[in-house]
Chain A
Amino acid sequence: MENLVEIRGLGIKAQTDSGRMIDIIRNVDLDIPAGEIVALIGESGSGKTTLALSIMGYLRPGCRFGGGTISIAGQNIMALSEKQRASLRGTEIAYVPQSAAAAFNPALRIMDQVIEVTAIHRLMSPEEARQRAIVLFRALSLPSPETIGDRYPHQVSGGQLQRLAAAMALISDPKLVIFDEPTTALDVTTQIEVLRAFKDVMRLSGASGVYVSHDLAVVAQIADRIVVLKDGQVQEEGRKADILTAARHPYTRELLAAFTPTPAAGAKADADTPRKGYILEVENIRAGYGARDENGEPRIIAVDSVTLKLKAGQNLGIIGESGCGKSTLARVISGILPPFSGSIQFDGREIAAAAADRQREELRKLQIVFQHADTALNPLKPVGEILGRPLTFYHRMNGKERDDRIDQLLDLVHLPKSIRYRLPSELSGGQKQRINFARALAADPVLILCDEITSALDTVVAAAIVDLLKELQKELSLSYLFISHDISTVRSICDEIVVMYEGQKVDQFPAQALGDESNHQYTRLLNASVPRLDPDWLDNLDISGFAAMGR
């Protein structure tokens, strides 16, 4: 088959903050046959988005071409002027962004943005474009296709916006569509609808595609070929089936290994010594945000009558989709957001609702770790001071004693001692999350609330953090309340799992019982929605039985 895109010896350089030029794409050769979808897969920083954008002749500020050719239908895009490149963008090559919520202009109506390409390149009359857009909306199974375009971006859901972004890309019948992690920001159940819609319209249009992702299972559903990138170089490429079944490169194998089912944690916990009572008992918690009415109830209820118990030394997982109230629950337990009704028993005693009213000892034993280490760590303080602060606050440590303990903490989270003099900005994402966790350990807690702590990390890095959590639990006899939207992570570390939906607890079961018939139907929907490596998974998936679950 003839190649639509041929990339030869491509290099891209980027300027670092200190002004040094580094190679972020090195000597890449890539072919995209007409009518096929090629997946670019790799972890963050592997250069996959940079490579995808370069096919449009576009480099983000601070990057520049360092040699090689990119030819599209025989035309070398690197030899074109900026104006000629602009004439290809939107018409020949179109782009579907990672976050449609950010890529839609909040001040303009959706329809105006979807058909903007036709206005920029004078392809058709606005009326014609509008009709075409409505046909596309219907093909992407968007609700009320005739009128959805009249809304503003904030008036539709994330999954709908992502499909609208696809309509925006397909309006001009492009030869090549670049999908840049288009489902990464979506919940699993929404991801299925969006992936199906993408697959259908791409099949109909016959265009070629580049699908950038870090999720091998998603790629398995939609791509014909897979290219594995690491450190700006192609590690391995081949037909989908070959990569999935007979990967040669160690990195690809590592990615695949992340999908082999891990044993549920529960089994091991039962074998352990019998435990004493409950470390945490949460009763009938109701909490929310916004103005309060005369009864003290906030206008928006985020957590509605949730009761849960956590045995000492065990782990409780809380899963649910974005907006289900799981993070709010963590904020309530930690005392950041006092609930308006309900009680919290911690370590056998009832504790005050607000953190300010709790005793220092209670605060010390109950620590929280936030999702984004970037925002949770003070960017102006070196690691040593970040870890030293709780030591002084809770244990009144100073001088040599404190320095020794900081070294111990770094050792616990497997980081070199020398790192204590660095600033958070000088660390990688995984290292930052370890520091974030070490800060909680500094207090010598008995319970740690982990709020989505692996969600912003790459698969391999996240797996290492989970291993660290398990190891520390054994050494320090900790309990975790582990909040995540990622079912397999929760399953691998927790003894008991709670499922939340729209602020309520809908299900609770031992981790090894996940996937049983006894699960609530929403739990089964969540579990069924997690992408599998099987390329036919999406086509064979039948979730119509769960449609009753109010979405």
Chain B
Amino acid sequence: MNKLAFSLVLGKIGIALVTLMIVSFAVFFATAFLPGDVTEILLGQSATPEAVAGLRHAMNLDQPAIFRFFLWIGGLIQGDLGVSYANNMPVADLIGSRFANSMKLAAATTLFAVPIALTTGILAAMFEGSLFDRMVTVTSITLISVPEFLVATIAVLVFAVYLKWLPAIVTVSEVRSFGEVLRVYAMPVIVLTFVISAQMIRMTRAAVIGTLKTSYVEMALLKGASRCRMVLRHALPNALGPIVNAVALSLSYLVGGVIIVETIFNYPGIAKLMVDAVATRDLPLVQSCAMIFCVAYLLLITLADIISIIANPRLR
């Protein structure tokens, strides 16, 4: 890697860190100004004002918001996510297993969706204007347009209620064999694949078609190269930047945006945890979840940027 590429990569990482700072600020103050007071929820409506004041003092709620922000961010940097208001457990313990579950679902979906989406996109580009290409375009636009709760509900209706092939809800604790894993994960993974593939397919197709029209691909044709060689060796490496970015954007959805899918399949993931935490005014938990989503998103986007930089021979 040369100096220019190195400084570009450093710049991207720097921007990600600055973004993270701004987001943490926004997350903290947005949640801090949410209506409702956690002490009243914890102590019940009949609590004496003294008890409320005592608890507020114990939870640092009587301190200025900016002081609490630095307290919170200082804890985050040391890996201390704070203590849940609702059940007095460390937030890290609450999130731990849920986060692992979400990552499993995301990983399964990635392994399934990315190869399928890229292959479909590349094939559609290779046979631009063919029946196959038009079918891919129509299907992917349809899938983008249909809300995922509808896809998920229809999937449950067909596969769980009528066909009875797959369980309607995911009970992770009962999974023992590999066959079980497939059965349990099949429906959420398929629904999520529908949701995130459409964008990847369309971006891949557009990027590859763009490079297929360049002079160097025509030159490859005039050297007698096969269609396969033209696409895989000449077009694809130059279309990598936009494709990687589309993949990263789609995958980032798997971290924070899966709430509907987790709810419908009753999947014990982190997005569902966050929604439950909002209901109980459990601010440390909400903040931590929000920060995790943000970190995951920034990681994916920054990684995509770095891959595009490294893939460019002018910067290598």
The chain A residues found within 8 Å of chain B, CB to CB, are 53, 56, 58, 60, 86-91, 94-95, 97, 99, 102-108, 116-117, 120-121, 152, 154, 168
Closest 3 CB pairs of A and B: A102-B215, A89-B224, A90-B224
CA distance A121 to B226 in the complex (A): 10
CA distance A104 to B238 in the complex (A): 12
Interface centre among B214, B215, B216 (most CB of A within 10 A): B216
B219 near A107 with CB under 8 A, answer no
A105 near B216 with CB under 8 A, answer yes
Whose C-beta in chain A lies nearest to the C-beta of B237? A107
CA distance A152 to B237 in the complex (A): 14
Take A97-B215, A107-B313, A154-B313 as given contacts and tell me if A58 and B238 are in contact as well, using a CB distance cutoff of 8 Å: no
B221 near A91 with CB under 8 A, answer no
CA distance A94 to B222 in the complex (A): 7
8 contacts between A and B (CB under 8 A): A86-B226, A89-B224, A103-B218, A104-B219, A105-B238, A107-B238, A107-B313, A154-B313
CA distance A87 to B223 in the complex (A): 9
Whose C-beta in chain A lies nearest to the C-beta of B221? A58
* Minimum C-beta distance from A127 to chain B (A): 20
Residue B86 is within 8 A (CB to CB) of chain A in the complex:
no
CA distance A107 to B237 in the complex (A): 7
CA distance A107 to B232 in the complex (A): 12
Residue B76 is within 8 A (CB to CB) of chain A in the complex:
no
Take A154-B313, A154-B314 as given contacts and tell me if A104 and B216 are in contact as well, using a CB distance cutoff of 8 Å: yes
Q: Which residues of A contact B223 (CB under 8 A)?
A: 89-90, 94-95, 116-117, 120, 168
Residue B107 is within 8 A (CB to CB) of chain A in the complex:
no
* Minimum C-beta distance from B24 to chain A (A): 31
Q: Which residues of A contact B226 (CB under 8 A)?
A: 86, 120
Q: Which residues of A contact B202 (CB under 8 A)?
A: none
Q: Which one of A56, A60, A106, A116 lies within 8 Å of B238 (CB-CB)?
A: A106
CA distance A21 to B31 in the complex (A): 65
Q: Which residues of B contact A104 (CB under 8 A)?
A: 216, 219
Whose C-beta in chain A lies nearest to the C-beta of B316? A152
* Minimum C-beta distance from A462 to chain B (A): 25
Take A99-B215, A120-B229 as given contacts and tell me if A106 and B314 are in contact as well, using a CB distance cutoff of 8 Å: yes
Q: Which residues of B contact A56 (CB under 8 A)?
A: 222
Q: Which residues of B contact A107 (CB under 8 A)?
A: 237-238, 311-313
Q: Which one of A91, A103, A152 lies within 8 Å of B216 (CB-CB)?
A: A103
Mask for B220-250, Cβ within 8 A of A = 1, else 0?
1111111001000110011000000000000
For the complex, count residues of B whose C-beta is within 8 A of A. 21
A106 near B222 with CB under 8 A, answer no
Whose C-beta in chain A lies nearest to the C-beta of B213? A61
Interface centre among B222, B237, B238 (most CB of A within 10 A): B222
CA distance A60 to B215 in the complex (A): 11
Report how many A-B pairs have Cβ atoms within 8 Å.
71
* Minimum C-beta distance from A181 to chain B (A): 13
CA distance A302 to B220 in the complex (A): 36
Whose C-beta in chain A lies nearest to the C-beta of B128? A61
A90 near B222 with CB under 8 A, answer yes
Q: Which one of A95, A99, A102, A108 lies within 8 Å of B222 (CB-CB)?
A: A95
A95 near B219 with CB under 8 A, answer yes
Q: Which residues of A contact B219 (CB under 8 A)?
A: 95, 97, 103-105
B224 near A106 with CB under 8 A, answer no
B224 near A152 with CB under 8 A, answer no
* Minimum C-beta distance from B237 to chain A (A): 4
Q: Which residues of A contact B225 (CB under 8 A)?
A: 86, 116, 120
Interface centre among B218, B221, B224, B226 (most CB of A within 10 A): B224
* Minimum C-beta distance from A545 to chain B (A): 37
* Minimum C-beta distance from B174 to chain A (A): 49
* Minimum C-beta distance from A163 to chain B (A): 15
Mask for B190-219, Cβ within 8 A of A = 1, else 0?
000000000000000000000000111011
Take A102-B216, A107-B237 as given contacts and tell me if A117 and B313 are in contact as well, using a CB distance cutoff of 8 Å: no
A91 near B224 with CB under 8 A, answer yes
Q: Which residues of A contact B312 (CB under 8 A)?
A: 107
Whose C-beta in chain A lies nearest to the C-beta of B238? A107
Q: Which residues of B contact A120 (CB under 8 A)?
A: 223-226, 229
A86 near B238 with CB under 8 A, answer no
Q: Which residues of A contact B222 (CB under 8 A)?
A: 53, 56, 58, 89-90, 94-95
Whose C-beta in chain A lies nearest to the C-beta of B313? A152
Q: Which one of B215, B218, B224 lies within 8 Å of A87 (CB-CB)?
A: B224
Q: Which residues of B contact A116 (CB under 8 A)?
A: 220, 223, 225
A86 near B215 with CB under 8 A, answer no
Mask for B304-316, Cβ within 8 A of A = 1, else 0?
0000000111100
* Minimum C-beta distance from A70 to chain B (A): 15
Q: Which one of A87, A152, A168 lies within 8 Å of B314 (CB-CB)?
A: A152
Whose C-beta in chain B lies nearest to the C-beta of A98? B215
CA distance A399 to B223 in the complex (A): 59
A106 near B229 with CB under 8 A, answer no
* Minimum C-beta distance from A288 to chain B (A): 19
Whose C-beta in chain A lies nearest to the C-beta of B222? A95
* Minimum C-beta distance from A280 to chain B (A): 39
A103 near B215 with CB under 8 A, answer yes
Q: Which residues of B contact A102 (CB under 8 A)?
A: 214-216
Whose C-beta in chain B lies nearest to the C-beta of A109? B313
Q: Which residues between 8 and 41 of chain B lie within 8 Å of chain A, taking CB atoms?
A: none
Q: Which one of A53, A88, A154, A168 lies within 8 Å of B224 (CB-CB)?
A: A88
Whose C-beta in chain B lies nearest to the C-beta of A85? B224
* Minimum C-beta distance from A58 to chain B (A): 6
Q: Which residues of B contact A60 (CB under 8 A)?
A: 218
B216 near A121 with CB under 8 A, answer no
CA distance A89 to B224 in the complex (A): 5
A-B contacts besides A90-B222, A90-B224, A107-B238, 14 pairs, CB < 8 Å: A60-B218, A86-B221, A86-B224, A95-B223, A97-B215, A99-B215, A102-B215, A104-B216, A105-B220, A106-B314, A108-B313, A116-B223, A117-B223, A120-B223
Q: Which residues of B contact A108 (CB under 8 A)?
A: 233-234, 237, 313
* Minimum C-beta distance from B240 to chain A (A): 8
Q: Which residues of A contact B234 (CB under 8 A)?
A: 105, 108
Q: Which residues of B contact A168 (CB under 8 A)?
A: 223
* Minimum C-beta distance from A94 to chain B (A): 8
* Minimum C-beta distance from B185 to chain A (A): 37
Q: Which residues of A contact B238 (CB under 8 A)?
A: 105-107
Whose C-beta in chain B lies nearest to the C-beta of A180? B222
* Minimum C-beta distance from B241 to chain A (A): 11
* Minimum C-beta distance from B220 to chain A (A): 7
Whose C-beta in chain A lies nearest to the C-beta of B214? A102
* Minimum C-beta distance from B231 to chain A (A): 12
CA distance A31 to B94 in the complex (A): 82
Interface centre among A58, A88, A97, A107 (most CB of B within 10 A): A107
Q: Which residues of B contact A106 (CB under 8 A)?
A: 216, 238, 313-314
* Minimum C-beta distance from A171 to chain B (A): 10
CA distance A117 to B220 in the complex (A): 9
Q: Which residues of B contact A94 (CB under 8 A)?
A: 222-223
CA distance A430 to B269 in the complex (A): 65
CA distance A89 to B230 in the complex (A): 14
Q: Which residues of A contact B311 (CB under 8 A)?
A: 107
CA distance A87 to B222 in the complex (A): 10
Q: Which residues of B contact A88 (CB under 8 A)?
A: 224
Q: Which residues of A contact B313 (CB under 8 A)?
A: 106-108, 152, 154
Whose C-beta in chain B lies nearest to the C-beta of A86? B224
Q: Which residues of B contact A87 (CB under 8 A)?
A: 224
Q: Which residues of B contact A121 (CB under 8 A)?
A: 224
Q: Which residues of B contact A97 (CB under 8 A)?
A: 215, 219
Whose C-beta in chain B lies nearest to the C-beta of A112? B233
CA distance A103 to B216 in the complex (A): 4
Whose C-beta in chain B lies nearest to the C-beta of A104? B216
